[in-house]
Structure 1
Amino acid sequence: MNRPAHDEGAERAVIGAALLSPSLVTELAAKLNPGDFYRPNHGALWDAICRLDAAGTPADPIMLAAHLAETGDLARVGGAPYLHTLISEVPSVANAGYYADIVAGHARRREVSELGLRLTQLADSGTDTADLLATSRALLDDTSTGAEWAPPIPLGTGRHLPAFPAHVLPGWVADMVRAVAEFTQTPVDLAGSIALAALSTAAGGRAEVEVRGSWREPTNLFTVVVLPPGSRKSAVFAAITGPLLAAESALVERTKPAIVEAELAARVAGKAADKAAHAAANADASARDALLAEASAAAMQAEAVTVPSLPQLVADDVTSEAAAQLLADQGGRLAVLSPEGGIFATIAGRYSGTPNLEVFLKGHAGDMMRVGRLSRESQHVAKPALTLGLAVQPDVLRDIASMPGFRGLGLLARILFALPENTVGFRRIGADPVPAEVAEAYRDNLGALVLTLAGWTDPAVLPLTEDANARVLDIERAVEPRLAPGGAWGHVVDWGSKYTGAVVRMAGLIHLAEHLRDGWGKPVEAETIDRAAQLGDYYAAHALAAFDDMGADQATRNARHVLAWIERTGSTTFTKRDLYRATKSATIRAVADLEPALAVLDAHGYLRQIDPPARPRTGGRPPSPTFLVNPDVHRPAATVHPIRDARRTA
């Protein structure tokens, strides 16, 4: 089958010329609409350029990249490097009008071709001639003049979420995050969220941020990224967490001599205790009391010898009991990092049949935990610090909402969710690998952070400057009204109540990562709180979308699935049969399963059905209904930053 008429080179040249010479945009916009571009990312770029021009802002590469980052569409259109690629490929800015004519001409040809295909399908179905002509006129009217569309009503908060603000991370972390995302062609959100979990692994249990009074926040986080299968999650995990395993090996080598020495001391003390006990047992009555005292002292001395455990920073799919024991053995620090979400099913009772959330709840809060042991008395972990860094599939996100205790006991309230836009289908082939110097700096610095803090038994205390404390108070003031009944966060008050603490924790991690070897000796600055607050804005928007998705009914979920297909393909019209072939899945098993989803999209103004032709009088298969898509679907939406905007207006 022939591909639809288009000239990708001309599309790239038009956009590149507009970026090189923003004064041409008004002239070119008179010839081209965003829907005239065959490539959806080119249409999105042209729409953004025209919007900037209409607002009086020059659509140069820097302004356009900043605008797309603000709307959350930068990754979807190819990232900032793609803008520079477009510029470098422009043959001549003087020929921009000629390139625009080529793009517009191909768009008209596609319209004619698509209309002809629809009419052919109707004719082949045996539709009555009169009905066929009536439908033809309807299609011509709708595709040429178009009826007025009202702005669509959003399906919850899941669309056009903000992109991960990697620029707020310390330079060596931000460079690695961007480079890994570019090489793997994955959303920056994935590498960014896992990088935060890596910093949490290094510092968790070894540092606390002192806000004011007795309020201290540990520096460990729970991050969960939601992406479908085939998103290269494992490759990103390997790149971001690999240095942690190298640092763990270094800790093991550093600890081995102490283990050997302790084991030897334990054997010597044990033999001395056995010898003393044997002597006391065989002594006569006159000497027995003194020998018993000596034997008791020797036994206590042998019991006091502690053999250090081999250091372990990272675990994968462990049970709650195993995680508790590891926390006890590792001095209260442990990270569960995995590109899969199996840990949720495990703690929900996959093996035991009984959910066990205590270690995860206390491990996040830093509450004292008692760990029972079969062979010895129970151990106390005074301030456990558990890190969670996962990438899960969308179905897992929906499943965990129904797992016993996850919402009611507060586990979900502790998670920083990221729901990035899937890049599969838009990935650039042959992307540049991570530069050696970037990977080396990341490995060395993350390893230094691990090794520097490894020796701390009591957590280092990081105070806030006076200005930093004022910033925290501003955040609290902005958040509190949102938690009230009817407030923006009233339905996620459990998550929102922990928001300020999460921002403080991230600020502590940024501070330590920028002061690798002496961070505990410096207070956290206001500028660091501001940067962490940008991360807070990002995670707040994504948390609302995650909880909205977890609470949505199946019709709404399927509607989002259909809407994602429309956005990804740039479809402006389609038949129900075509849609089914493209979106068939575990929840859309038959064409009839699309009915509720299409009804939701119709009610929200995303599409409308063209009046279907009558059933063929000669019998046979009826034609598949045809739908038109609201043009606003393919226009990027503005991104709102509730906390940051509230601070600006405070």
Structure 2
Amino acid sequence: MTQAGYDLAAEQAVIGAALLAPDLMADLAATLAPGDFGRPAHGVLWEAMCAMHAAGTPTDPITVTAHLAEAGALGRVGGAPYLHTLTAEVPSAANAQHYAGIVADLANRRKVADLGTQLAALAASGADAAEVVATGRALLDDADVPGGWSPLIPLGRGRHLPPFPAELLPGWLAEQAFAVAEFTQTPVDLAGSIALACLSTAAGGRAEVEVRGSWREPTNLYTVVVLPPGSRKSAVFAAMVAPILAAEKTLIERAAPAIIEAELMAKVAGKAAEKTALAAANADPSGRDTLIAEATAAAMNAEAITVPVKPVLVADDVTSETATSWLAAQGGRLAVLSPEGGIFATIAGRYSGTPNLEVFLKGHAGDMLRVGRQSRDTEHIDRPALTMGLAVQPEILRDIAGMPGFRGLGLLARILFALPENTVGRRKIGADSIPTQVSADYLTNLHALVLTLAEWTDPAVLVLTPDANNLVLDIERAVEPRLAPGGAWAHIVDWGSKYTGAVVRIAGLIHLAENLRDGWGQPVSADTLERAAMIGEYYAAHALAAFDDMGADQSTRNARQVLAWIERTASTAFTRRELFRAVHSSQFKTMADLDPVLAVLEAHGYLRQLDPPAPKRAGGRPPSPSYLVHPDVHRPVATVHALDAARRSA
């Protein structure tokens, strides 16, 4: 079936054939370029396979899977299961050239259609005829070969980020994430990341994963999704967090009788202690010692009665002090779930004037927390387990990088960032609602997980199978070179040093979600660990983009905004006037504000200005400069790691 100008079955068949018969790669690579595939994931996969073929590496499923995993790109193509799907659906590898011909023909048709669309848009933009003709000739010249274009110099790592691989979550959780994303018309990254935060709320402080020796990882996470205003963040939070709030209500109802009984007992014991103390005070000296002993015993009895606190699972915008108190009262377990990021300003000292990060640092690591208060007893928490699931605006992401201690003390290193593509402006009206059964299963299962683990005072210890432990070792071996000076993660070594632990935590949560009532009694499998690693790859790519964005200057940020418009509209040519009409905002108040941005994009190779336009005619306005877009902007590309690996092996 052909969709959006490409034939999905033909694309799957040609890639599957190349996986099954690597000796076909020479002919197929000469026929098809990565940009010929209509599905972006197929373009990424094909570029990696072409690079492997050029390096003399076979393109069988096992080798390709290992290559993509090492490059951190496996999640972007659908993971190892999708590669097996491709090979399983090949009608016949002998017909590979026929499938390739279908893909190539549709690619050429798309190029022609895109060319016509761009020329029509340029003609309607107010440009004069000479401008349109000149641009048309340039586009025709560029249709087959990138005449003289230099390689792109990336504007950081914010482009072509992989989508959240929600299909790797347990079925009932994945279905909810996809359904919520469809109904709200939001990127699945938001629902997926909050789903993990909800699992963390259920399991944090109640389970930990034993890797080897004394190395244990708790199962609580900090997730932060970055989306602009108007992205329906609240609607997603409401749908995903509802079972947690329902479970909290159930726990409160269960605890109510015990709380009432303890309060009554404390009141009675208190009155008895007061009565015996008064009797001792009024007694004559001969019998006072006995009454004082009775009063002391009564007071100690009253003091020994502990009134259970009302269960609280979720807080919203709390101060560090309040979070500490609630953690202490709740046995060291608490979640901060919010569609806003105001808590960052709060813990940075918005009210106190002094940053207080200790509870958020130790609450992630599980380190003992002891805080003395002048107005009350010392608050002591042996193993705090704090969860954070937030959605913040891009401005807040940039602000927190400069907040005192956030980077230096390690708070940012504990966060799993997600920077999904904004869907506003491309949302489907009248999207399908969340299926009733999907919502019901999600509510039932998450509710059950919370209640099953709620009574655990000492955390359940989840062990790894030998194969799963070997996978952890493989992850450590892959990560270590990236952290070295000059490595891919050298500039985020603080975040990268916690990467393997984060993958282990995610694996623990997936394991518990798939074994709702007896996960604590079964080991974490290699398959679970592998899926967690793929999710970890997603967060690694987004962490690179997040830290890059936090350190970027304003011109680069604005350039990314313009580049996003180019990618979203598939523009291959435009005038400055056309661009200004499209991106006019507080950042671009006049066309002159575009000049430094266009200069950045030209310097990085994304744009090329056409020959200066002809002088304006008498009485007319000056013609607007025209720009061509580098062909590679609209081509799926393999990750930098994949290309580097191919060059090294060559």
Give how far 1:591 is off.
2.1
CA distance 1:219–1:20, shift in 2 (3 Å): closer
| Separation in structure 2 between the aligned mates of residue 522 and residue 53 of structure 1, nearest angstrom | 38
Partners in 2 of 1:537 and 1:180 — Cα distance?
23
Q: Distance in 2 between matches of 1:422 and 1:174?
A: 21
Once the two structures are superposed, what CA deviation does each residue of 1:426-474 show, in whole Å capped at 9, x if it has no partner? 3233322222111111111111111111111111122223332222222
Shift in Å at residue 255 of structure 1?
Answer: 0.4
Equivalences for residues 293-442 of structure 1 within 5 A: 293-373=293-373, 376-442=376-442
Checking the alignment, whether the CA contact within 8 Å between 1:10 and 1:100 is kept in structure 2 is: no
Matched letter for residue 556 of structure 2: T
2:110 and 2:541 map into 1 onto residues whose CA distance is 37
1-structure distance, mates of 2:546, 2:169: 24
Give structure 2 stretches of 5+ with no counterpart: 16-31, 54-58, 60-67, 79-101
Distance 1:378 1:53 in 2: 60
What corresponds to 1:85 in structure 2? none
Residues 1:144 and 2:144 are matched in the alignment: no
Letter in 1 for 2:319: T
Given the superposition, is the C-alpha separation of residues 350 and 164 from structure 1 closer, same or farther in structure 2, using an over 3 Å criterion?
same
**What residue identity is the alignment partner of 1:417?**
F
Q: In structure 1, how many angstroms separate the alpha carbons of the residues matched to 2:566 and 2:106? A: 27
Q: Find the aligned partners of 2:178 and 2:628 in 1 and give their Cα distance.
A: 38
Contact 1:71 1:639 in 2 (8 A): no
- Which residue of structure 1 lines up, in the alignment, with residue 19 of structure 2? none
Q: Provide, for residues 324-370 of structure 1, a one-character-per-residue CA deviation record: whole Å limited to 9, x for no partner.
A: 11111111111100111111111111122211111111111111122
> For residues 100 and 300 of structure 1, what CA distance do their matches in structure 2 show?
83
Query: 1:12, 1:138 → 2: CA distance?
Result: 29
SS at match of 1:148: coil
Q: Distance in 2 between matches of 1:568 and 1:482?
A: 32
Question: 2:581 is matched with which residue?
Answer: 581
CA contact (8 A) 2:11 2:42 kept: no
Counterpart position of 2:94? none
Q: Which residue of structure 2 lines up, in the alignment, with residue 544 of structure 1?
A: 544
Q: Which amino acid aligns with 1:121?
A: A
Q: CA deviation at 1:402?
A: 0.7
- Please give the per-residue CA displacement for 1:162-206, whole angstroms capped at 9, x wherever unaligned: 221222211211121122122222212111110000000001111
Matched position secondary structure for 2:353: coil
Taking the aligned partners of 2:367 and 2:42, their CA distance within structure 1 comes to 53
The answer as to whether partners of 1:204 and 1:218 remain within 8 angstroms in 2 is yes
Task: Give the one of 103, 113, 121 matched to 2:127.
Answer: 121
* Cα distance per residue 1:60-98 (max 9 Å; x no partner): xxxxxx9xx968599xxxxxxxxxxxxxxxxxxxx9999
**Partner residue in 2 for 1:161:** 161
For 2:624, what is the secondary structure of its paired residue?
coil
- Judged with a 3 Å threshold, the aligned counterparts in structure 2 of structure 1 residues 326 and 476 are, in CA distance, closer, same or farther, namely same
Secondary structure of 2:152 counterpart? coil
**How much has 1:286 moved relative to structure 2?**
2.0
SS of equivalent to 2:211: strand
Give the direction of change, closer, same or farther, for the CA distance of 1:46–1:574 in structure 2 (3 Å limit): farther
Q: Matches of 2:316 and 2:108 in 1, distance apart?
A: 56
Matched residue, 1:560: 560
Q: State the shift of 1:247 in Å.
A: 0.5
Structure 1 counterpart of 2:566, one-letter code: I
Q: 2:150 aligned with 1:176, yes or no?
A: no
Count how many residue pairs are aligned between Structure 1 and Structure 2.
Answer: 591
Contact preservation (8 Å) 2:75, 2:538: no
Q: Do 1:537 and 1:641's aligned partners in 2 also have CA atoms closer than 8 Å?
A: no
Contact 1:72–1:639 under 8 Å retained in 2: no
State the match for 1:632 in structure 2: 632
1:111 to partner: Cα distance: 5.3
Q: Distance in 2 between matches of 1:97 and 1:533?
A: 34
Partners of 1:163 and 1:538 within 8 A in 2: yes
Once the two structures are overlaid, the 10-residue window that deviates more, 409-418 or 366-375, is: 366-375
Change (3 A) 1:511 1:113: closer
Distance 1:544 1:104 in 2: 32
CA contact 1:361–1:410 (8 Å) conserved in 2? yes
Equivalent residues of 1:163, 1:188 under 8 A apart:
yes
* Between 145-154 and 182-191, the greater mean CA deviation after superposition: 145-154
DSSP 3-state at the match of 1:145: helix
Aligned to 1:489: 489
* Contact kept? 1:10, 1:99, Cα under 8 Å: no
Q: Partner of 1:228 in structure 2?
A: 228
Call closer, same or farther: CA 1:257–1:112 in 2, change over 3 Å: closer
- Judge which range, 13-22 or 410-419, deviates more: 13-22
TM-score (norm 1): 0.82
Say whether the 8 Å CA contact 1:161–1:639 is kept in structure 2: no
Question: 1:500-533 CA distances to partner (integer Å, 9 max, x unpaired)?
Answer: 1111111111111111111222222222222211
Decide whether aligned partners of structure 1 residues 298 and 634 sit closer, same or farther in structure 2, where only a CA change above 3 A counts: same
Q: Report the Cα distance in structure 1 between the residues aligned to 2:328 and 2:286, rounded to whole angstroms.
A: 45
1:601-620 equivalence runs, <5 A: 601-613=601-613, 615-616=615-616, 618=618
CA distance in structure 2 between the aligned counterparts of 1:331 and 1:71, rounded to whole angstroms = 37
Quote the residue 1:511 is aligned against: 511
Cα distance, 1:160 vs structure 2 = 0.9
1:458 aligned partner, one-letter code: D
Deviation at 1:114, TM superposition (A): 4.5
Mapped contact 1:201–1:387 kept (Cα < 8 A): yes
1:13/1:96 contact within 8 Å kept: no
Counterpart CA distance in 2 for 1:297 and 1:384 is 34
Letter matched to residue 213 of structure 2:
G
Q: What secondary structure does 1:457 align onto?
A: coil
Q: Which residues in structure 2 correspond to 1:198-277 (within 5 Å)?
A: 198-277=198-277
| TM-score, normalising length: structure 2 | 0.82
Distance 1:161 1:12 in 2: 21
Q: Work out the CA distance in 2 between the residues paired with 1:96 and 1:546.
A: 35
Deviation at 1:243, TM superposition (A): 0.5
Q: Return the alpha-carbon distance in structure 2 between the equivalents of residues 556 and 398 of structure 1.
A: 13
CA RMSD of the aligned region, Å?
A: 3.7
Describe the SS at the equivalent of 1:121.
Answer: coil
CA separation of 1:407/1:427 partners in 2, compared to 1, >3 Å: closer, same or farther?
same
Q: How does 1:59-138 map onto structure 2 within 5 Å?
A: 72=76, 109-110=116-117, 113-114=120-121, 116-117=123-124, 121-122=127-128, 138=134
In structure 2, what is the Cα distance between the partners aligned to 1:543 and 1:589? 31
Q: Which residue of 2 aligns with 1:290?
A: 290
Distance 1:506 1:139, change over 3 A: closer
Counterpart residue type for residue 597 of structure 1:
V
Q: For residue 143 of structure 1, what is the amino acid of its counterpart?
A: L
1:266 offset after TM fit, Å? Answer: 0.5
> What whole-Å deviation, never above 9, does each CA across 1:460-496 have from its counterpart, x for those lacking one?
1222233322222222222122212211111111111
SS of the residue 2:335 aligns to: strand
Residues 1:398 and 1:508: Cα distance change in structure 2 (over 3 Å): same
Q: Which runs of 5+ in 1 are unaligned?
A: 1-8, 24-31, 58-65, 75-94, 124-131
C-alpha distance in structure 2 between counterparts of 1:180 and 1:217, whole Å:
30
**Structure 1 equivalent of residue 476 of structure 2:** 476
Show the counterpart of 1:83.
none
Give distance in 2, aligned partners of 1:416 and 1:53. 30
CA distance in 2, matches of 1:446, 1:307: 28
1:311-333 CA-partner distances (Å, limit 9, x unpaired):
11111111111111111111111
Q: Is the 8 A contact 2:483 2:493 kept in 1?
A: yes
CA distance 1:422–1:639, change in 2 (3 Å): farther
The answer to whether the 8 Å contact 2:198/2:241 transfers is yes
> How many Å separate the matches in 2 of 1:417 and 1:586?
27
